[in-house]
Amino acid sequence: AQKVTQAQTEISVVEKEDVTLDCVYETRDTTYYLFWYKQPPSGELVFLIRRNSFDEQNEISGRYSWNFQKSTSSFNFTITASQVVDSAVYFCALSEPDKDSWGKLQFGAGTQVVVTP
Amino acid sequence: KAGVTQTPRYLIKTRGQQVTLSCSPISGHRSVSWYQQTPGQGLQFLFEYFSETQRNKGNFPGRFSGRQFSNSRSEMNVSTLELGDSALYLCASSTGGGVEGEQFFGPGTRLTVL
């Protein structure tokens, strides 16, 4: 069963528009970690953020912000005032350490973001 | 600090051959995980090594194997290659657990099986 769902396959925006990427996860563990990674055309996955299940505080880092809501099992990601360099595939991932699987990230299918000038 | 390095970056093999991919983690990192990325299946976990021991394994056939050396460098091997093994193979390193456990990825090895 898919544990991380990214329902949006592709989102196209014009530069300076905001874009929100949805991520819904599924776990029975009380302790878990959620991640967002960016994969530009070069292929390397770039770490953006980690959030643990006990910290529901939203976070903002520059133009990036994250909204974590345990009640809806969602961890959404917003890029404010998008730029062409934001064009990439963005992955949401889940880690369930209670299963002694720190090294196992379960990824969603990814959302392709296309930002046009 | 140098990042995660993977060699080779590109590889072309034919069906039935075997291949070995290499990953050097960030200095001080003891955990190395491997992932396969294909257009159809997305990013899938292969296995994780920590202090030379396989700690976790994904749902892949026995043709996929790996190992980790005392210096934390890791290799993965795929025997009897099939067309479906064509993929981007990504390696990630981390300190090994706890709150420091986020994974940092290498550039990947793109394997093409003809």
Which residues on A lie below 8 Å from B31 (Cβ)? Answer: 102-103
Residue A102: its pLDDT value, please? Answer: 62
| Cα separation, B46 vs B90, whole angstroms | 10
Which residues on B lie below 8 Å from A10 (Cβ)? Answer: none
Query: Which two three-digit tokens encode residue B77?
Result: 């091997």
> What would the mean pLDDT of A42-66 be, rounded to a whole number?
89
Which residues on A lie below 8 Å from B90 (Cβ)? Answer: 45
Cβ B67 vs Cβ B22: under 8 Å: no
Q: Is B17 helix (H, G, I), strand (E, B) or coil?
A: coil
Residue B3: its pLDDT value, please? Answer: 92
Statement: residue B100 has pLDDT above 60: no
| Location of structure tokens 């290498």 | B106
Test A102 with B31 for CB contact under 8 angstroms.
Answer: yes
Test B110 with A105 for CB contact under 8 angstroms.
Answer: no
Amino acid at B14: T
Q: Which of B44, B97, B102 sits opposite A50 (nearest CB)?
A: B102
Statement: residue A63 has pLDDT above 70: yes
Q: What is the pLDDT of residues A78-109, one digit of tens each?
A: 999 999 999 999 999 998 876 656 668 899 99
Q: What is chain A's mean pLDDT, rounded?
A: 91
